Amino acid sequence: MQKPLLNWVDNTYVATTEWDLKLVSDTTKFIPVTSPATGEIVSYAPLSKREDVDLAVASCKKAFEAWRSRTVKDRIQIMIRLHQLIVKNADHIADLIVLEHGKNRTEALAEIAKGNETLEFALSLPQLMQGHILDVSRGVACRDSLNPLGIVCSIVPFNFPFMVPFWTLPIAITTGNCLVLKPSEKVPMTMTYVMTLMKEAGLPDGVVNLVHGGPETARMLCEHADVNAVTFVGTSAVAELLMKQCRGLNKRVLALGGAKNHLVAYPDCNIDMTAQDVVSSFTGCSGQRCMAASVLLCIGEQPTLIESIVAKATSLTAGQSTGQVGPVIDEASLKRISSYISQAEENGEKILLDGRKWMNKGGSGFWIGPTIILHNNRSDPALHDEIFGPVLSILACDSKEQAIEIENANPYGNAACIYTRDGGVAEWFTKRFGAGMIGVNIGVPVPREPFSFGGINKSSFADSDITGVDALNFFTYKKKVTTKWAPPEEISWLT
């Protein structure tokens, strides 16, 4: 029997609740972690109780004063070592991601590199964290400085076991905060291992603690009186819920939600490049990306483009090597994805490529192949709901105005993309898309550091984006100091 994972507090593994191997079948205490490729149980994630959360928060509280008192230049020395340890151990981190998430190895290594890029941004904070100073009157000066909030927590989703925790962790702690991380109970192994690298890098006890658990543990963290700010990434319903809960408690909150990303193919687009890009976007990480393509709006009939997309997607194979499409996260996800395809079929939509063929192929694991639906019926649920699997809906539009009307009507607003060779057309769409991250001939338009990441509407219940300079502002408050040292005759409040 697999051992359950343990929480990480004060730079060591701990179990406070009675975590006995005999109890792993008790679903009130543990959740099995399954390998999506085989369906086998590979570990157990404990469902932390209040005393576990209290212990982690208390550890942060104990560490905070000494950590914030260090200079930022001092803090980044540890972050430099952490960056190097992540590079050195990338293969092992990727093994864990492939095992518990299911994505292919190249995708796993790419998410590690992207997570480490946020850490690289954090290394530049000594240059960015400087305050301002100005003589505001004769003899009177004002200065401001950026200060850590205290204890912050990050609640993260399953789809990027390493990258999403690293969207917040490096910037949160380099600015002087202490952080409690709650990984997704579906992929808890990756970050549990990364904690050991933080210790090896020299991070003092209590600066980062990790508690395992599900929704209940997440809510306990958000409610905890000593937690000053919360970041959340996950589904829109939970993002909205936690945002309201945290605002009601007067905590800073940054909550990112789901997505339904629309790509538009203008008649002049480069067929081969567009087809390749669209296929990579909707099949990459098996469609389990908040930046994945969901809907392709073709302006006019575009049979050659559609044929090329279907041909490229048909040639993909199931597996976890470079270029292959991995499984989806679990049984529930598999059922949800296939039910959207079945429903579309029942509604009379044309299934140009049917990924249900991959189901039960090897007899185990959660496999479903790339699926392409050509829609006639604009009300089909597959066109509107976030499916979070390798499914592309295609719809023909009469005009660019109609394409924009459809894109703007969707309640999400994470990403959108226009494929065209015409700069004027690209500008027209860029100005009108109702999304926070826009691509021109790029189907996964992730802004790279130092640009911040984030959507609008139901894709973000936050007042700022999550990485880059926005994260620096989120994790700090401004202290304004007004000073008067000059003798009275040199002072004037007016000049």
State the nearest-atom distance from the C-beta of 215 to ligand NAD, in Å: 3
State the nearest-atom distance from the C-beta of 462 to ligand NAD, in Å: 10
How many Cα atoms within 13 Å fall on the side-chain side of residue 53?
24
State the nearest-atom distance from the C-beta of 491 to ligand NAD, in Å: 51
| Burial of 306 (C-beta count, 10 Å sphere; 0-12/13-18/19+) | buried
Cβ closer to ligand NAD: 251 or 400?
Answer: 251
Question: Could you write out the three-class secondary structure of 359-427?
Answer: CCCCCCCCCCCCEEEECCCCCCHHHCCCCCCCEEEEEEECCHHHHHHHHHHCCCCCEEEEECCCHHHHH
Cβ closer to ligand NAD: 131 or 215?
Answer: 215
State the nearest-atom distance from the C-beta of 73 to ligand NAD, in Å: 31
Cβ closer to ligand NAD: 83 or 458?
Answer: 458
| Burial of 352 (C-beta count, 10 Å sphere; 0-12/13-18/19+) | middle
User: Which residue is nearest to ligand NAD, using beta carbons?
Assistant: 234
State the nearest-atom distance from the C-beta of 219 to ligand NAD, in Å: 5
Cβ closer to ligand NAD: 259 or 395?
Answer: 259
Provide DSSP, 33-89: EE-TTT--EEEEEE---HHHHHHHHHHHHHHHHHHHHS-HHHHHHHHHHHHHHHHHT
Cβ closer to ligand NAD: 213 or 369?
Answer: 213
Cβ closer to ligand NAD: 116 or 467?
Answer: 467
Backbone angles phi, psi at 438, to 5 degrees: -115, 135
Distance CA 181, CA 351 (A): 41
Active site residues: 290
If you search the block for the tokens 């000073």, which residue do you land on? Answer: 483
State the nearest-atom distance from the C-beta of 53 to ligand NAD, in Å: 13
Distance CA 444, CA 417 (A): 8
State the nearest-atom distance from the C-beta of 52 to ligand NAD, in Å: 14
CB 160 within 8 A of CB 110: no
Cβ closer to ligand NAD: 155 or 374?
Answer: 155
C-alpha gyration radius of the chain: 24
Binding site for ligand NAD (CB under 6 A): 155-159, 164, 182, 184-185, 214-215, 218-219, 233-235, 238, 242, 256-259, 290, 386, 388, 414, 455, 459
Taking every pair of C-alpha atoms in the chain, what is the biggest distance, in angstroms? 88
Question: Could you write out the three-class secondary structure of 95-130?
Answer: HHHHHHHCCCHHHHHHHHHHHHHHHHHHHCHHHHCC
